[in-house]
Amino acid sequence: MTFVEYAQLGRSGLRVSKLCLGTMNLGKLVDEQNSFALLDAALDAGINFIDTADVYGGIGARGRTEEIIGRWMAHGGGRREKIVLATKLYGKMGEVQNARGLSAFHIRQACEGSLRRLQTDHIDLYQMHHVDRATPWAEIWQAMDQLIQSGKVIYTGSSNFAAWNIVQAQYKAHERNLAGIVSEQSLYNLANRMIELEVIPACRALGIGLLPWSPLAEGLLAGILGGGIGVRKQTEIVQKQLARVRKQVQDYEAFCSSSGREPESVALAWLLKNPIVSSVIIGPRSIDQLNGMIEGMKVSLHENDMTTLNSIWPGPGGEAPEAYAW
Q: Point out the catalytic residue in the list 6, 56, 126, 324.
A: 56
Can 56 be counted among the known catalytic residues?
yes
| Contacts with 184 (C-beta within 8 Å, 6 or more apart), sequence order | 157, 158, 159, 161, 166, 199, 203, 208, 209, 210, 211
Please give the sequence-ordered ranges of beta strands (E in DSSP) within the chain, or none if there are none. 6-8, 15-17, 19-22, 49-51, 84-89, 123-128, 153-159, 181-187, 209-213, 280-282
* Contacts (Cβ under 8 Å, ≥6 apart) of 59: none
Q: Which residues contact 285 (CB under 8 A, 6 or more apart)?
A: 25, 29, 30, 230
- Which residues is 277 bridged to in the sheet? 210
Which of 289, 214, 267, 229 shows the shortest CA–CA distance to 24? 214
Residues belonging to the active site: 56
